[in-house]
Every structure is written in structure tokens, then in C-alpha cells.
Structure 1
Amino acid sequence: MKVCIYGAGAIGGYLGAQLAQAPGVQVSLVARGAHLAALRENGLKLLIEGQEKLVRIAATDDPARLGPQDYVIVALKAHQAWEAAEHMAPLLGPDTAVVTCQNGVPWWYFHALGGDYAERRLASLDPDDRQWRLVGPRRAIGCVVYPATEIVAPGVVKHIYGDKFALGEPDGSLSQRCLALSEALETGGLKAPVLENIRDEIWLKLWGNLCFNPISALTRATLDVVASDPGTRALARAMMAEAEAIARALGADFRVDVERRINGAARVGAHRTSMLQDLERGRPLEIDALLTAVQEMGRLTGAATPYIDSVLALVQQLGRSQGLYPVFPEQPAAAAA
């Protein structure tokens, strides 16, 4: 089995290091800059459970050197995955599966969904249908990422918590390609359940990300504060209620209620959300996959989203003021609610 991790950052590096332990799996990494130079010179160092693991994995910034793969696991942020779509071409053989590890709504969301919204595209995620055309939705396998990791130095990835990567086909089938990848990931020491409705799992994680991330970026507050302060908790609850109405209109379900989801976030403690970390480090903010796409889906289903609209406008302006947004080509403004 040939597996390329496209985007060997914190999550991609952790995935690659673990997957490389699975017998019969040939892992390669696509990376760039100082991180790539360190991977080539020193290998990938994974700091996990108080130990250091050194793994030697082929790494390059040129996918053409690797050739067609059985799986391409895209461990980039949504805007980066959009930018990289045409560069993936050398990795894509006739049966190559592309595993999307992005937070938020995936670009293929309406593929094989059926009903009134079958095969719709989301302009906020995939301008000009770039990924839909160049990658193709039939290749897509959904993946919901639960671990927290970070790059502490070039070539060095620190695992903080979690080891679950939930997988699922857009059509809900328990396909052989999903089951085979799950087996490889679990042999490498990860949890990789194959789910019949990956969209439910996507919404469960997105439910928190769409409110906690932007509120924390706007207030500079850690997750425990956002989830427990009466004002920010009420705002998060209102945004989550709007998102739940959209998700249910599209056929998704939730296995926990809003209060339990918020309480779970509060128990994580003084964690800085990924959007707050990106803001502090001067990195582009991942706004569209977490918020703009949900707003677009609200327009599609006729659901009102006044709280989401307001927070989205604020965090977009924050990003623009810092030169961290937009990251896609300028799109027409959404119609007023």
C-alpha cells in the first residue's frame, strides 16, 4: 500500500510517523521549507508520551517524484488544499483515494448525498470548482481528525492528545478502500473507525469549531473561558443552534445535545484554539471552512443565521485587518439575511 501524506505539518507528520509502523505500508511526505529540509536531513522526530521516536520517511516538495499512490491523505487547511489541487495530479492514479483531513465542511459535502441538494458545490470552499474538477468527488474519503499536535521545531512534531481519525465514504458504504486504510492506521497505533454517516461526525466537531474558534480569536480567550463565561457561552449556544437547524435540514443528526458539547469543550481547559494560535503566529485564518460554508448552507436551506453572520463578519474583518484573510480569490458578498 502506497500512502502519501500531502502536508506533513503537525497532523500530517504525526499520521506519517504512526502509519510508517504498519507492515506493508510505504509512506511518503509532501512538505516544504525548513520543515522539509529537516525531514530530509534528520528524519521526522515525534515526541509522544514522554518519548522520542525518530522515523525516516521519504519527503519531497515535488509530487512528481513519488508517482501514483493508493491513498493521498490531505493534511492541509482548507484553503491550502484548494491551492494544492493541481499539484496533486502526479499522485493520482485511476483508483487513488483522496482522504480529506480538513476541519469544517469538506468541499465534497453534497456528493452522493441525494435529495434536493445532490451534487451541489460550495463556492466558499471550492471557488471555480477547482477540487471538484481536478481531484474529483468520487476519490474522496471523509476524515474527522481528533488529535492535537504541534510542530515545535522543523522536523519535530509533538503529540499533545488524541489518536482517533474517523473515516467514512460520502455515500455511506463500508467500502473496501476505507476498511483497508482503517486497518493500516490501526496497525500503526491509531483509532480509525469507519462510519456509515461521516457527515454526522463532521458536524459534531464543526459544531464546536464554528463558534469556539472565532470567539476565541476575537476575544483572545482560551477554550475554558469561552465555554464557561456566561456571555460567550450564550453566543456559542446561539451559533450552535443555528448550525444544528442547517445540519438537520440536510439530513444530519447529533448524538449529543448543545449543553453537553459545550461542557465537553470547557473540560479541555485553558486550550488556545487553532484560530487563536494562527492569529498569534500571523498565519492565515481558517474562516471559510468553519463559518462561511455554514452561512452558505444556511442560505441554501433557507435557515436564518443572524448570530453566525455577525461573528463571521467580525472575524473576517479581524483577519483582513491583520492581512490574514481572504485566502481564496475574492468572492461575491453573500446576500443579507
Structure 2
Amino acid sequence: RVRGEIGEFQVPITATDDPATVGEVDVLVLTLKAHSVPAMAASLRPMIGASTSVLTAQNGFPWWYFYAHGGEWEGMRLESVDPGGVISENIDASRVIGCVVYPSTAIVEPGIVWHLEGTRFAIGEPDGSKSERCRRLAGSFIKAGLRCPIRTNIRHDIWVKLMGNVAYNPISALTRATLIEIVKCAETRALATAVMSEAESVAKKLGVEIGVTIEQRLEGAEKVGHHKTSMLQDIEAGKPTELEAIVGAVIELGEKLGLELPNTKSVYACVKLLEASRHH
């Protein structure tokens, strides 16, 4: 059941904890949290047939990012998002359609999702082509009342979202603050600015011009208002966070690119300890 900005509706679904019982599908929409994908990757194989597309709808830096990337980074794997290469071993990157999820939602109780705002899911091929499978998929999303632009540079969209997430997620997890509270407090606003600036430097080294200023990102966060980031929601629910995919990956990239990222490393270290302390 979904409640919120777009009204209230209920969708009957067939659920299973055994992907093998589903069999091969046309499109596998991967909405697991990023840290859950490695453990599940092998069990998803029975769902992937000869023409199955895999829509990756995770937060953070995607494991397939350097597939069909070109240049010196082609095929590079990040340990933070694909530990031991277990995802890429089980899901052929040629299956992947990238996706950036923009709606703000929260699970208020099992089976009940509160939808705060947003209906946009940007999708795109790693190689930038406007493929037939992207068109079909976008058509299905649009038919369901969602917005689904097809991007010729999905990596740009990934960085635009990641630039905000890498700052707001850990700061909110540490302070329990909502987006508007983070940007209204001068000190956390300055910290968020510093972290976003570091993320921007990583993107630039990879040849991505984000094209959205940090000030615009701060204004955007203020407009969203009293929204708790996914990382804060996970902390409050006692669940593992997407720290590695959102923050760890940026740090790993920074190390490979020879960038320091002191502010990003600081918030990462604090959330890492926060997570560890909950399990003692």
C-alpha cells in the first residue's frame, strides 16, 4: 500500500524469498539496498534469461559503472561496491540498464510506503545508446503514471544524485537531522558543502561535469524539507546502511585518482563506527 503525494493505492503482489521459483523474467528490477546485492547475486541467476534486462535501482555508485565506459578506467571494479567481484561474476554487465531513483519515500510499517514526493526514474544504457529495451521499459513506467526519461549519459545523473547523497546521508545518520535541518544549520551546511565539493572533484577527474552547483543542491535539499535520508532511516530501524556504495565508493575512487577527500573520510569514519557500535 502506498500513501502520500500521489494519493493512496494498493497493489497486490506475489512475493517469494526464492528467486528460482519465479524463473526467467523480461526485466529484473533490482531494488535491493546496495549492500544486499553481493549476497543475493548468485541466487538471482535463475531469473536471468537470454534476453533479460537488469534495471539497477540502487543508491550510490553502481558496480557496473566502468562497463562500456571507455578510456583508461574501462572495466575497473570497486571493492566497496562489488566485493570480490561477486556481482559482476553473476550478473553480466551487458544486461544492465542504469537507473537513478528520485522519489522520496519511507517504509512506515511492513507493506506500507509513505511517498513524500517525486515520480521520476531516469534510465539509461551504460554505452549511452537509446536502445529498444530502454524505450519499452520507459513506456511501462510512463503507462504506470511515472516519469521515466531515457538518458544518453546516465553516469551524469548518477553523479548529480550521488553528490548530494554522499554529504546528506552520513551527516543525517550522525545527527539524526532531516535535509532542511542540515542546510539550515550553518556548521552542517558548511560540512555538506565541503563533502559535495570533494565528490565533485572525483567526478571531474572521471570526466563528468556535474553541472549543478553546490548552492543549487543545498536549495534543493531545503525544498524537500523534513525528509529523513535513507541512511538515517536505516540507522533508526537498526538496519545496515548503504555507507560503502554512497560514501566508501567515492573514497575508493579518490584513492585511485590521488585525491585526499578529508571531509568525506571523516564522516565515513564516524558512520562506520556508529554502525559497528550498534552491533555490540
- Confirm or deny a common fold (TM above 0.5): yes
TM-score (structure 2 length as normaliser): 0.96
Aligned to 2:215: 259
- Aligned AA for 1:176? E
Q: Which range is displaced more, 83-92 or 156-165?
A: 156-165
User: How far apart, in 1, do the equivalents of 2:155 and 2:137 lie?
Assistant: 19
Corresponding residue SS for 1:159? strand
Aligned to 1:171: 127
Corresponding residue SS for 2:26? strand
User: How far apart, in 2, do the equivalents of 1:266 and 1:211 lie?
Assistant: 14
User: How far apart, in 1, do the equivalents of 2:196 and 2:49 lie?
Assistant: 40
Aligned to 2:206: 250
Which one of 171, 175, 187 corresponds to residue 219 of structure 1?
175
Aligned to 1:105: 61
Alpha-carbon RMSD = 1.5
Q: Which consecutive aligned stretches of 4+ in structure 1 deviate over 6 angstroms post-superposition?
A: none
Aligned to 1:295: 251
Corresponding residue SS for 1:83? helix
Matched residues, percent identical?
47
Q: 1:55 to 1:225 in 2, by over 3 A?
A: closer
Gaps of 5+ in 2: none
How far has the Cα of 1:120 moved from its partner? 0.2
User: How far apart, in 2, do the equivalents of 1:153 and 1:257 lie?
Assistant: 36
Corresponding residue SS for 2:10? strand
1:206 aligns with 2:162: yes
User: How far apart, in 2, do the equivalents of 1:54 and 1:235 lie?
Assistant: 40
Aligned to 1:134: 90
1:196 aligns with 2:152: yes
User: How far apart, in 2, do the equivalents of 1:145 and 1:175 lie?
Assistant: 20
Which one of 77, 84, 100 corresponds to residue 121 of structure 1?
77
User: How far apart, in 2, do the equivalents of 1:49 and 1:194 lie?
Assistant: 24
User: How far apart, in 2, do the equivalents of 1:148 and 1:50 lie?
Assistant: 12
How far has the Cα of 1:225 moved from its partner? 1.6
* Correspondences of 1:60-75 after superposition (within 5 Å): 60-75=16-31
How far has the Cα of 1:141 moved from its partner? 0.9
Which one of 266, 275, 278 corresponds to residue 310 of structure 1?
266
Corresponding residue SS for 1:55? coil
How far has the Cα of 1:158 moved from its partner? 2.9
User: How far apart, in 2, do the equivalents of 1:82 and 1:98 lie?
Assistant: 15
